[in-house]
Amino acid sequence: MSRLVTWWRALSGPAKFRLYTRCTFHVAIVAVVGGMVAAAASPWSMAVIVFAGLITIAAVDGQPELATFPTVVSRRWTGTALIVTLSVLWLVAAVVVRVADDKAITDDARTVGLFATVLAALAIVPFHRYRWRLLLVISLATGLAFGESLMVGLLLAVGAAATGYLVAGTTLLTVWGLRVVDELEHAKRVEAELQVAEERLRFARDLHDVVGRGFSAIAVKSELAAALSRAGDTERATAEMDEVKTLAVESMGQMRTLVRGYRNIDLRGEVAGARSLLSAVRCRLVVEGDAAKVPQRNHEVAAWVVREGTTNIVEHSSATTATLTLGAAGMSLRNNAPHGATGERSGLRGLAERLAAVGATLDVTASADEFILEIHWEKT
């Protein structure tokens, strides 16, 4: 049981929704089978209905639109098997209704035929290109084949069409919901990739703006100094080379400042970035306390805690709320809906090493409903 619970919690939100959808289809099919079995009178019709229900469940599981995981290989042959099974059942039932003299036998055959029509509307028609035309043809054929008279047949056709359109429409709405979930998950991944790309572009732009101008000036002044030296004006050439040296030192300093600004992180900036990133994944961040309360010597490592903790929330949870607490004695970051056990995460290990370097400690508390990072600035 514990393994099942752990497996369920480790699933992503979209995977859980897909699994729920498949189970819903299974329950619907079982309910239809149960109703038809209750209406059937003979053992052979009951056996046929149960067999057709099992084939339908296999066909639903074989649809790629309903696969719980992207790696699951769709079984197209189950759809073909279902079409053949339901077609044979429908035709045999229609023949029995027309040729049998026993009312009990004709009622059973009619039940089987209507059952085949409902299953077709549930598991075949929604995935066909011309689904609505096909459903209309099936409904008319069902009314004409199983109606005792023309008027009864028309009424039966109308009922079969109404039921079929309702069942097929429900299936299509469910598939549409799955597609929306997939698109949202894809948009989430694309947004994360765009953020990384934007950061790379920002660094490239800053590097070009800061260093490119200095290097260009150095190149021009070096050429001028060489020309002056060849012309015999050594005093001006020396002055130009002094300026080249000054520019080189300034450019190196600007590059160090740029790289340091890229590598070092600011606590307030990280809190703002965490709020923005978590908001993009539908998680609300609540900040308690103020960055000013954190000791100045711990600002940088606190910023790393916020960054790594935010990454941990995005990658290892389906959190809807997170709380960041900042104080003079320590800080904490907690979130709901974690995925499974903590395991060995390199990010947390690296964070613990950063904290140990400044004399701070990291405590991780993981439960089924909450994940907590708690930091104390001084060992106690």
> Within 13 Å of residue 285, how many CA atoms lie on the same side as its CB?
23
CA distance 380 to 376: 8
Q: What integer is the mean pLDDT of 352-368?
A: 88
pLDDT digits (tens, 9 = 90+) for 182-217: 888 888 778 877 877 777 776 776 666 566 656 766
Q: 4 vs 146, which has greater pLDDT?
A: 146
DSSP E strand stretches across 283-380: 284-288, 321-326, 330-336, 361-366, 370-376
Which residues, 6+ apart, have CB-to-CB distance to 334 below 8 Å? 322, 323, 370, 371, 372, 373
CB atoms within 10 A of CB 83: 16
Confidence of residue 76 (pLDDT cuts 50, 70, 90): low
CA torsion sign for 128, 132, 134, 135 is positive
Closest to 355 measured CA to CA, from 333, 374, 328, 371: 374
The span from the CA of 214 to the CA of 207, in Å, is 11
Asked whether 125 and 131 are in contact (CB, 8 A), the reply is yes
User: Domain segments of the chain: what residues?
Assistant: 10-186, 189-263, 267-376
The tokens for 210 are 């800061």
The pLDDT of residue 47 is: 86
Whether 331 has a pLDDT exceeding 90, the answer reads: yes
User: For residues 214 and 247, what is the distance between their CA atoms, to the nearest angstrom?
Assistant: 6
What is the rounded distance in angstroms from the CA atom of residue 64 to the CA atom of residue 336? Answer: 32
The two three-digit tokens of residue 242, written as one number: 């002094």
- How far, in Å, CA of 322 to CA of 188, rounded? 18
Q: For residues 222 and 242, is the Cβ–Cβ distance under 8 A? A: no
Give the span between the Cα atoms of 189 and 69, in whole angstroms. Answer: 17
d(CA 211, CA 216): 9
- Give me the CATH topology for the region 267-376: Heat Shock Protein 90 (3.30.565)
With 80 as the cut, is the pLDDT of residue 99 above it?
Answer: yes
Question: pLDDT tens for residues 33-63?
Answer: 888 888 777 888 888 888 888 888 888 777 7
At 278-318, the pLDDT tens digits run: 876 678 999 999 888 999 889 988 988 888 888 888 778 88
For the entire predicted model, the pTM comes to 0.53
| H helices, E strands: number in the chain | 12, 5
Tell me the CATH architecture of domain 189-263: Up-down Bundle (1.20)
Count of all residues that appear for the chain in the document: 380
Residues 163 and 188 sit within 8 Å (Cβ to Cβ): no
330-336 and 321-326: which strand pairing? antiparallel
